[in-house]
Amino acid sequence: MDGMEARELAYFVAVAEELSFTRAAQRLGIAQPPLSRAVKQLERRLGVILLERTSRRVALTVAGQVLLEEGRRALEGLAAGTRRARRAGRPDPRLTLAMKAAGDGGLLPDILAAFESEPEAVAIEVLFCGFGEQAALLRGGFADVGLLHGRPDLTGLDSETLLVERQVVVVPVRHRLAGRAVVTLADLDGEVMPRWAGPPQGDADGLEGPEVRDAGQLMQLIAMGRTVAVLPESVRAYLGGDVVCIPVLDAPPTAMVIAWPEQSRSPALAAFVRAATGVVAHRGARWGPDGDRSGAGVREW
């Protein structure tokens, strides 16, 4: 970081977010005078005023607003790099895979078996997460590779599409639609849909229902009759006898991708991606029944 130290930048970001030297000092666990001196020193280094200070308020200048956004990214990148370096230097090397419970489309056992035959194979540590959290875990350096669904934000990541599949609606066995062979989205009008915890996923169809954090919770809520959910067809492998799934004819296909941080140089990661794409190629399951390759219009679940 040209002209500044990471400590100075962290101090400035705290003040800029709190808009108070007192609250920022409390947040950082330091006294206020050294915090004020560090921010003034940063301004001298850069040759610009970052904060407008009066006896009543602290406000960001235009330069301060720019540095706040850039500084956040820089500090996040530094923290992520530190986590990756520590993991890479472990005496017991391993890859951390971020995924939702039941979020592998039934592919993971075959992928792990194929990966074990690779010369670069290492132990795999699975980090189960909530809906839509995988990309943030990858960018933050908490995971090396992830399985993501729908249309996640892939900024800062490389990825390969593994599977595109049609969607089904999962309903309790006594639901009004449970005996149907197929349904359309119009048939779901008025149904209570879950709210995915985590990053915003866009407007949900139907009435707003309970907040859901993982697949097990979702299936229990469906069985209780509290909600229904439109999900990838591979969810069939994880259903109990108290729910049923029905193909939704006009729901857009949904994609599962494997993603990893840009510019990764890990031979083990490359071998894992190679194993995953090889399993999919062997199964011939890359594209969905109608050949759609985009997954357009699908929310991440």
Residue 54 has which token pair?
Answer: 């009066």
Model confidence pTM above 0.85: no
Closest-CA residue to 168 (of 277, 96, 244): 244
Encoded amino acid at 69, one letter: E
For 204-242, the pLDDT digits (tens) are 444 567 888 778 888 899 999 999 999 998 888 778 889
Burial class (CB in 10 A: 0-12, 13-18, 19+), 50: buried
- DSSP-derived pairing of the beta strands 94-100 and 145-149: parallel
- DSSP-derived pairing of the beta strands 157-165 and 254-261: antiparallel
pLDDT, tens digit only, all 301 positions of the chain: 555 688 999 999 999 999 999 999 999 999 999 999 999 999 999 999 999 998 889 999 999 999 999 999 899 888 888 888 887 788 888 999 999 887 888 899 999 999 999 999 999 999 998 878 899 999 999 999 999 988 888 989 999 999 888 999 999 999 999 999 999 999 999 999 988 765 544 444 445 678 887 788 888 999 999 999 999 988 887 788 899 999 999 999 989 999 999 988 899 999 999 999 999 988 764 434 333 333 332 233 3
H helices of the chain, where? 6-18, 21-28, 32-46, 62-88, 108-116, 134-139, 215-223, 267-283
For 161-181, the pLDDT digits (tens) are 998 889 999 999 999 999 999
CA angle, 261 as apex, 260 and 263 as ends, to 5°?
Answer: 115
The separation between CA 128 and the C-alpha centre of its own chain, rounded to angstroms, equals 11
Q: Is 54 helix (H, G, I), strand (E, B) or coil?
A: coil
Other Cβ atoms closer than 10 A to 300:
23
Look-up of token digits 């056992």: 109
Contact in structure between 244 and 289 (CB atoms under 8 Å): no
- DSSP-derived pairing of the beta strands 243-247 and 145-149: unpaired
Rounded Cα distance between 291 and 279, Å, is: 19
End-to-end CA distance of the chain: 37
Contact in structure between 205 and 185 (CB atoms under 8 Å): yes
